[in-house]
């Protein structure tokens, strides 16, 4: 079936279920591309191609190079199968991977002539030169890039389907998990640090991600309900610097219940902020209920730089915060224990105590299957093995007798 248009507007020929050939002219030259999608999408793509001829942005589909397509894909926000753009931080990571590992070897190749054996050769060259996980990430990103080109009709078929040297991600670092006594020792060791104790303690008590923790506002702390809302996260980008954004997925939006000690830590922290806002000393008697913080005041804002006033809305540098944690943890005898391991520790302690997987997953904003897989592979104290041994002993006493 062919859809005819006015002379010069091109045409659309249906070649199969959701497969179309788009015919159009740019600067008097005829072009034809294959497009996969709905008829409505095909019409939209044809209009885009015609507009690109008017604006001078058109690239002959038979001549576009891998490098040119990579730039177009990144410029469009690196859309995937669901046609959604990725976050700025992720976009910058994709751009870096393709710039460093794909463009130098394959960038000059015509996109439509790119072959699977060329990609195999590229992957063989990466083997041993970069970490397996990074090589696998290169593959995932490049595959997504080429899949989009195929959907848009710039590729007849994605050569990734015939690639044989797909990099293996290797064994992921599922992190460390402390037992309760070790965690108590670690948190106690941070009490001497006024800037670090409260955020570290709250992270251990809630299992929140670092960038969720540092984006928390006082408006998220519902005192009478003893809850903390997770509604945003920090994003550290090259283009925009450190900024606040929504969580990556709907799963990231959640409300966490707090224990009495966590509530007490937050109340003390808030009192300090109110005193700073009022400009009074810690021992001064004042009715703090009359003081109001800015509506977007952060719970854990950045410390003021020398000569600067305290700001309640400037976030901490996530990278510096992570390094500060690692340095102090090492001094306390926890070398190799990273800040994000607090999240794994929180989940592990809950699971070891018999809290259902889906409940723990909801609390930390993770997929239950991912949580269970990480839990099974996480390096931790032998508390779980001891629990199993105790349970088996009790069970055996019942059906085997004394």
| Residue 301 confidence (pLDDT) | 96
pTM for the whole structure: 0.71
| Residue 380 confidence (pLDDT) | 60
| Residue 3 confidence (pLDDT) | 47
CATH of domain 176-385: 1.10.443.10
| Residue 168 confidence (pLDDT) | 86
| Residue 256 confidence (pLDDT) | 95
pLDDT in tens, 118-173: 999 999 999 889 989 899 999 999 999 999 998 887 887 899 999 998 998 866 56
| Residue 4 confidence (pLDDT) | 44
pLDDT above 70 as % of the chain: 90
Instruction: For the chain, give every domain's residue range.
Output: 1-57, 59-171, 176-385
Q: What class does CATH assign to 59-171?
A: mainly alpha
pLDDT above 90 as % of the chain: 56
| Residue 394 confidence (pLDDT) | 59
Q: Do domains 59-171 and 176-385 have the same CATH topology?
A: no
Task: Please give the mean pLDDT across all residues of the chain.
Answer: 87
pLDDT in tens, 98-126: 999 999 999 999 998 899 999 999 999 99
| Residue 214 confidence (pLDDT) | 97
Question: Tokens 């904003």 appear where?
Answer: 365
| Residue 174 confidence (pLDDT) | 65
Question: Tokens 């709907």 appear where?
Answer: 250
Q: Which residues of the chain have pLDDT under 70?
A: 1-9, 59, 61, 170-174, 379-402
């Amino acid at each position: 079936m062919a859809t005819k248009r006015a002379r010069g507007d091109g045409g659309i020929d249906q070649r199969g279920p959701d497969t179309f050939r788009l015919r159009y002219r740019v600067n008097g030259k005829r072009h034809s591309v294959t497009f996969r999608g709905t008829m409505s999408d095909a019409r939209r793509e044809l209009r885009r191609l015609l507009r690109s001829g008017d604006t001078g942005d058109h690239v002959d589909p038979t001549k576009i190079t891998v490098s040119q397509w990579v730039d177009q894909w990144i410029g469009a926000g690196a859309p995937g199968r669901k046609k959604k753009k990725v976050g700025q931080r992720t976009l910058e990571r994709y751009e870096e991977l393709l710039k460093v590992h794909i463009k130098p070897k394959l960038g000059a190749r015509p996109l439509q002539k790119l072959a699977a054996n060329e990609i195999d050769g590229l992957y063989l060259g990466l083997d041993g030169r970069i970490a397996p996980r990074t090589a696998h990430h290169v593959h995932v990103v490049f595959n997504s890039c080429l899949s989009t080109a195929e959907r848009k009709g710039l590729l007849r078929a994605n050569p990734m389907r015939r690639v044989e040297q797909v990099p293996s991600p290797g064994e992921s670092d599922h992190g460390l998990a402390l037992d309760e006594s070790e965690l108590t020792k670690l948190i106690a060791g941070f009490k001497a640090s006024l800037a670090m104790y409260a955020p570290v303690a709250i992270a251990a008590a809630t299992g929140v991600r670092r960038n969720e923790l540092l984006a928390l506002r006082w408006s998220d702390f519902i005192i009478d309900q003893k809850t903390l809302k997770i509604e945003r996260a920090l994003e550290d980008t090259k283009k925009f610097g450190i900024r606040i954004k929504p969580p990556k997925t709907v799963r990231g939006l959640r409300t966490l219940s707090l224990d009495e000690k966590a509530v007490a830590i937050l109340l003390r922290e808030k009192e300090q902020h109110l005193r700073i806002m009022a400009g009074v000393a810690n021992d001064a008697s004042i009715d703090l209920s009359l003081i109001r913080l800015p509506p977007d005041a952060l719970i854990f804002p950045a410390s003021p730089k020398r000569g600067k006033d305290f700001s309640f809305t400037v976030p901490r540098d996530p990278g510096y915060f992570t390094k500060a944690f690692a340095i102090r943890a090492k001094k306390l005898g926890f070398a190799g224990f990273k800040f994000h391991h607090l999240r794994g520790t929180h989940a592990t302690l809950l699971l070891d105590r018999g809290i259902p997987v889906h409940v723990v997953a909801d609390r930390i904003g993770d997929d239950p299957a991912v949580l269970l897989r990480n839990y099974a592979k996480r390096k931790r104290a032998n508390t779980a093995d001891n629990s199993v041994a105790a349970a088996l002993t009790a069970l055996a006493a019942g059906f085997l007798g004394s």
